[in-house]
Amino acid sequence: MKNCFLIKSWLIISLALLYTATVSVDEVYAGLKLDSTVKERRPLLPDSLTLKNSPPPEILTPRRFATTPDDELIGEKKIEHLVKANENLMELARVYGLGFNEIALANHGVDPWEPKPGTKLTVSSVRILPGLDEQADIIINIPEMRLYHRWQTGWIDTYAIGVGREGFATPTGDTSLVSKRALPSWYVPKSIRLEKPELPAVVLPGPENPLGSHALYLAMRGYLLHGTNQPFGIGRRVSHGCIRLYPEDVKTFFANAKIGSKVRLVHEPVKAGWRSDKLFIEVYPIFAEEVGANREAKLSALATSVVGKALERRPDLVVQVDWSEVDRFVNKPDGVPHQIGWVVSE
């Protein structure tokens, strides 16, 4: 049975608050993962919710969005954040309810750990909905590292997540939510105990429990949606396949998610969707182990297919698509919706 697990070095570093790393945004593009060889340049406080100069996160980024049947995007807000002294992208991601991947991709070329004060960061809460071909109560888009919860008619909650690392990829498929538990104990899988025999058979609730404060169990045996005691893993590939949420997000998700909810785990690095008569595209990198050096070619073919399906959803419209713009975002994914098409006649 698979479960989520952080390697011992990360646990020790987190407890000591000495987690140090260097990584370029290019490395994030290459595989959307940071492993134990990565070193940051200065300490991070993984449990800090806000930065000294920033307002509370609930003011900055709503997690809940109204939807309408003919709008395939959610959110309206695209803002700029002016970097202040001692801020970094990992902490800002949490303040804005983003995963580290999202803020790094949207701000290519910015040093994630020591961005220059005065740098303008793009922060967007506008997103194309995934899983448009078949709806579910909960849709998890693995390459986007984001969960969408349609918990009430007309409303969707969305949360940044962490997913399985290379070799332990989070699977795709249809499943359901079978149970949920506050203050869960972690029953360490035998495979992990063989790898790390110093671990106990059971980790009780508390600050050292990697499941955090709440866990939701899938019918897909061995896979959970849960909180975390390592918030810096959100928007990164760090787990043994489980899906983790920020501590503040898992509480809301836990309260609203119903047992029996249909769950779909999808792999959609390219999304295309309509807002009124405008067509948008949103692109994320494909995981490195899936395509090797052919990332752009696979993304390009996928983008052509995804845009084609979007056009099929509006057969009554005559649409002009700017394929040069499609190519631009395929070659440089940034995880932000961009208009690529518009109606020329009806």
Q: Quote the radius of gyration of the chain (alpha carbons, Å).
A: 20
Q: Which residues contact 241 (CB under 8 A, 6 or more apart)?
A: 2, 3, 4, 163, 164, 168, 169, 170, 171, 222, 223
3-state secondary structure of 50: coil
From the candidates 81, 149, 226, 240, give the one annotated as an active-site residue: 226
User: Residue 4 catalytic?
Assistant: no
How far, CA to CA in Å, does 290 sit from each of 5, 101, 143, 159, 295? 22, 18, 11, 25, 8
User: Residue 338 catalytic?
Assistant: no
Determine the Cα–Cα distance for residues 139 and 41; give it in Å rounded to an integer. 35
3-state secondary structure of 196: coil
From the candidates 240, 242, 267, 338, give the one annotated as an active-site residue: 242
Q: Are 306 and 258 in contact (CB under 8 A)?
A: no
3-state secondary structure of 194: helix
Determine the Cα–Cα distance for residues 157 and 315; give it in Å rounded to an integer. 30
Determine the Cα–Cα distance for residues 213 and 185; give it in Å rounded to an integer. 10
Residues assigned a catalytic role: 226, 242
